[in-house]
Structure 1
Amino acid sequence: DITGLLAWLRERGPRWAGVLQSDAVKVTVNKSFAGPGTQVRDGDEVAIVSAHS
Structure 2
Amino acid sequence: MNVKKLIFAILAIGLLASSCSPSATADEDALYTPIKQGVDKTQIKIPAAG
> Which structure: greater helix fraction?
2
- Shared topology, TM-score over 0.5? no
Pair member with larger Rg: 2
Larger relative contact order (Cα-Cα within 8 Å, sequence gap ≥ 6): 1
TM-score by length of 2: 0.25
> Which structure: greater strand fraction?
1
